[in-house]
Amino acid sequence: MATLQETLAKQIPGLRDEVKGLVKANGNKVISEVTVKQAYGGMRGIKGLVCDTSFVDPEKGLIIRGHPLLEIKHLLPEEGFFLLLTGDIPDKAALKALHDDYDKRAGVPDYVWKVLEAMPEDSHPMCMFDTGILVMQRESVFAKAYEEGIQKAEYWQPVLEDSLTLLARLPELAAGVYRIRYKKGARIPYTNGLDWGGNYAKMLGVTDDESFADLMRLYLLFHSDHEGGNVSAFSCHTVASALSDPYYAVSAGLNGLAGPLHGLANQMCLKWVLGLIDKYGGVPTKEQLAQMTQETLDSGQVIPGYGHAVLRKTDPRYTGFLEFGKQHFPDDPIFKTVATLFEVVPPILGKIEKIADPWPNVDAGSGALLYHYGLTEFQYYTVLFAVSRAQGMLSQMIVNRALGTPITRPKSVGTPWVKNFLAEQAKA
Ligand code: AMX
């Protein structure tokens, strides 16, 4: 089978023709309407973006290029990246070529470590990770090619180059952030010939337990993409649409991921669960969990790890993590608490009319698994999410540059405009 680069080069002309033809023949057909509520409400549900890498079905959850996530959970995350980008699962030779390519590109430059080591000790790991990415921006081959006058039809090639370099380096950067921020001793070097998730697990240096590497592989696959409209993907998309290079754009997306309603929810979730165990001196009973859920809601806070803007059923990513925990350490107290919350929280949230989705999302369970292996610094958890999500953001970016997607610029209106529009409508 062809390499990633060759596969894309073969696919792109046909993809361009297909989209061009679609728009030419149907450009004025309406696929979505916008209500006043949507305009004021985070544009929820408006179909105004195209994303071919993945789709989130409200009932079934994440579908990557037609494959429901739990049906492909055996894939390595880098196989998932190949799939996101091309729609094909790589065969052995194509995967080996990708691994060899990563091996050649790996190696976070020394100047990055100097910057990170100079940051204040209480810096958030997400800020350090993002900073590391931004500092490497000077290496962007896309930015250089653009300056030198590259043709629009070729943009995707240096964007792919930057993407592969970034992906090759992100596990090392993220592991380095962990070891610097939490004073874990010398950084552990990248190992040539080891897969992406296995390498990351090794460089973190948390445990030698091989099942931790399996968890990392699962984690890095599960968080990789969630269609185009979530905060990180959409932010990244908007920034990249200005032809900012992948370093700038991924960093922008990850700044959104660092919000507590998005990727930071996994940190918040574990903090909440640990607080529950601490309060009750062990695994709380169902009654105690119900009481604390109610108290958290009454204090005006959200229950982290529950609810979703698109999903209306249990997130299959949560189901996958729950299965992993049940298989490897069903009696771990934190895992047990997380599993019991699944029985307790949805009926309570389900009774609150305004909550559209009472079910657990990806962040409800992942932290308990990481904690079990000794990765207890939960402020760090969003960095793991970030390494994974970079694969989705970059795949979407490469496709968009291949298609020549223009700069993002929706129209905004003011409240007087809305009032006037409604008054005119009432008259008509
Ligand atoms: N606990 C308490 N209240 C919740 C809730 C939860 N888990 N989920 C939703 N609500 C509330 C909202 O805060 C909102 O209240 P408001 O009208 O008073 O502001 C109301 O219910 C309606 O919200 P919604 O339409 O159901 O959800 P949304 O699309 O606006 O927001 C999300 C989705 C994820 C931000 C929200 O469910 C939430 O805050 N969940 C907790 C945080 C979390 O787990 N985030 C991670 C999401 C997955 C990810 O990106 N990693």
Mean pLDDT of the chain: 97
Q: What is the pLDDT of residues 80-135, one digit of tens each?
A: 999 999 999 999 999 999 999 999 999 999 999 999 999 999 999 999 999 999 99
Torsion of CA 83, 85, 86, 90, to 10 degrees: -40
CB of 61 shorter than 6 A to ligand 1: no
Q: What is the pLDDT of residues 362-381, one digit of tens each?
A: 999 999 999 999 999 999 99
CATH number of the domain where residue 8 is located = 1.10.580.10
State both tokens at 283.
């695994």
CB of 304 shorter than 6 A to ligand 1: yes
Containing H/E element for 62? strand 61-64
Has residue 230 got a pLDDT over 90? yes
What pLDDT shows up at residue 55? 98
Containing H/E element for 68? strand 67-68
What pLDDT shows up at residue 261? 93
CB of 306 shorter than 6 A to ligand 1: yes
Neighbours of 358 (CB within 10 A): 19
What pLDDT shows up at residue 183? 98
Has residue 1 got a pLDDT over 90? no
What atom in ligand 1 is closest to the CA of residue 363? 51
Residue 420 domain flag: no
Q: What is the pLDDT of residues 247-272, one digit of tens each?
A: 999 999 999 999 999 999 998 999 99
Neighbours of 252 (CB within 10 A): 21
Question: What residues are labeled active site?
Answer: 262, 308, 363
State both tokens at 127.
């800020």
Residue 332 domain flag: yes
- The domain tally of the chain equals 1
> Confidence class of residue 45 from pLDDT cuts 50, 70 and 90?
very high
CB of 305 shorter than 6 A to ligand 1: yes
Of 268, 306, 344, the residue with max ligand 1 atoms within 8 A of its CB, to mutate for a pocket test, comes to: 306
Q: What is the pLDDT of residues 153-197, one digit of tens each?
A: 999 999 999 999 999 999 999 999 999 999 999 999 999 999 999
What pLDDT shows up at residue 163? 98
Residue 106 domain flag: yes
Has residue 352 got a pLDDT over 90? yes
Query: For strand 67-68 and strand 61-64, is the pairing parallel, antiparallel, or unpaired?
Result: antiparallel
Residue 182 domain flag: yes
Are the C-beta atoms of residues 112 and 131 closer than 8 Å to each other? no
Are the C-beta atoms of residues 325 and 335 closer than 8 Å to each other? yes
Closest protein CA for atom 1 of ligand 1:
302
Has residue 49 got a pLDDT over 90? yes
The Å distance, Cα 161 to ligand 1 centre, comes to 37
What pLDDT shows up at residue 234? 98
What atom in ligand 1 is closest to the CA of residue 357? 26
Residue 171 domain flag: yes
Could you give the percent of the chain with pLDDT greater than 70? 100
Q: Give 391: exposed, middle or buried? Use CB within 10 Å, 0-12, 13-18, 19+.
A: buried
Buried b (16+ CB within 10 A) or exposed e, 304-317: bbbbbbbbeebbbb
Residue 418 domain flag: no
CB of 303 shorter than 6 A to ligand 1: yes
What pLDDT shows up at residue 276? 94
Residue 428 domain flag: no
How far is it, in rounded angstroms, from Cα 331 to Cα 368?
Answer: 12
Q: What is the residue range of 234's domain?
A: 1-23+35-408
Q: Give 389: exposed, middle or buried? Use CB within 10 Å, 0-12, 13-18, 19+.
A: buried
What pLDDT shows up at residue 116? 98
Has residue 398 got a pLDDT over 90? yes
> Confidence class of residue 25 from pLDDT cuts 50, 70 and 90?
very high
How far is it, in rounded angstroms, from Cα 61 to Cα 64?
Answer: 10
Containing H/E element for 94? helix 92-105
Are the C-beta atoms of residues 62 and 92 closer than 8 Å to each other? no
Residue 421 domain flag: no
